[in-house]
């Protein structure tokens, strides 16, 4: 039985793809003078922003990060919670399962969850600024384990990207690929729920 289910945020709890890409397009137009297509920027989904900007050759990554955050806030109307997430979280809480978050967002950027009414559902939260190394390193999940006092077998991590998968397996934690938000359905995983309701059923069956 899993005592804790920890979630990635973008592409798992909330659908931020349009907002991320639209705001990144705006940053790159200013920084590099080029309009990138959505297809060219899909690789950016699920990996830290600084890594994305470095790979694209942006000269001043930190300045571009600040712009990206600002433009993301302006396009927050494009963000929505995935259907079924609220029921999933309520069902897990009702089953006595601790809810956690392990995300590449900073703690300040996590405020977006308050819009959807479930920010306070999570007892254990690990953000990008809480560990020296982020995903795909095991460090964020290892911090979650340390904070909760749980072992790797007690935790299920749910995410949408290969970095989430690598982080989970490096920490010895089982990984569920959230197919409802995953860009690449072939990411290695232990479970592949197509809808949040399937994840709830999986966790309830493990009791």
CATH of the domain at 52: 1.10.150
Q: Which residue among 26, 57, 78 closes a domain?
A: 78
Place of tokens 């953000």: 127
d(CA 2, CA 94): 14
Q: Which domain, by its residues, includes 171?
A: 4-15+80-205
Q: 3-class SS at 21?
A: helix
Task: Provide the greatest CA pair distance for the chain.
Answer: 54
Q: What is the pLDDT of residue 163?
A: 92
Say if residue 69 is in the same domain as residue 136.
no
Please give the structure tokens belonging to residue 167: 């982080």
Q: What is the pLDDT of residue 43?
A: 87
Q: What is the pLDDT of residue 111?
A: 85
Length of the chain: 207
Say if residue 29 is in the same domain as residue 84.
no
For 201, list phi and psi in degrees, rounded to 5: -60, -40
d(CA 200, CA 136): 25
For residue 119, give Cα distances in angstroms to 47, 89, 109, 112.
22, 11, 12, 8
Compute the 3-state secondary structure of the chain and give helix, strand, coil in percent, each to the nearest 5: 50, 15, 35
Nearest-10 crossing angle of helices 139-148, 162-170: 50
d(CA 127, CA 182): 20
Q: Which residues have CB under 8 Å from 198's CB, separation 6+?
A: none
Confirm whether pTM is higher than 0.75.
Answer: yes
Say if residue 60 is in the same domain as residue 104.
no
Terminal C-alpha separation, the chain: 5
Say if residue 65 is in the same domain as residue 88.
no
Q: What is the pLDDT of residue 207?
A: 58
Say if residue 71 is in the same domain as residue 91.
no
d(CA 30, CA 42): 19
Place of tokens 């397009």: 25
Nearest-10 crossing angle of helices 85-94, 196-205: 10
Q: What is the pLDDT of residue 49?
A: 86
* pLDDT tens for the 207 residues of the chain, in order: 899 999 999 999 999 989 999 999 999 999 999 999 999 998 888 677 888 999 999 999 999 999 998 998 898 889 999 999 999 999 999 999 999 999 988 888 888 898 898 888 999 999 999 999 999 999 999 999 999 999 999 999 999 999 999 999 999 999 999 999 998 899 999 999 999 999 999 998 865
Number of domains in the chain: 2
d(CA 119, CA 35): 34
């Amino acid at each position: 039985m899993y005592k804790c289910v920890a979630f990635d945020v973008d592409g798992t709890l909330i659908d931020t793809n349009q907002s991320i890409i639209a705001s990144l397009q705006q940053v790159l137009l200013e920084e590099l003078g080029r309009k990138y297509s959505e297809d060219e920027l899909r690789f950016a989904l699920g990996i830290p922003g600084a890594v994305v900007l470095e790979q694209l050759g942006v000269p001043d990554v930190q300045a571009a990060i600040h712009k990206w955050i600002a433009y993301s806030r302006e396009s927050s109307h494009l963000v929505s919670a995935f259907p079924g997430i609220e029921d999933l979280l309520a069902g897990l809480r009702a089953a006595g399962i601790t809810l956690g978050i392990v995300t590449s967002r900073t703690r300040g950027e996590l405020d977006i969850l308050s819009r959807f009414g479930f920010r306070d559902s999570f007892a254990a939260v690990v953000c990008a600024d809480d560990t020296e190394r982020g995903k795909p390193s095991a460090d964020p999940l290892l911090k979650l384990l340390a904070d909760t006092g749980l072992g790797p077998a007690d935790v299920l991590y749910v995410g949408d990207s290969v970095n989430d998968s690598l982080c989970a397996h490096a920490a010895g934690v089982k990984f569920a690929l959230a197919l409802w938000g995953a860009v690449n359905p072939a990411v290695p995983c232990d479970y592949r729920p197509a809808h949040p309701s399937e994840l709830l059923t999986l966790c309830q069956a493990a009791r």
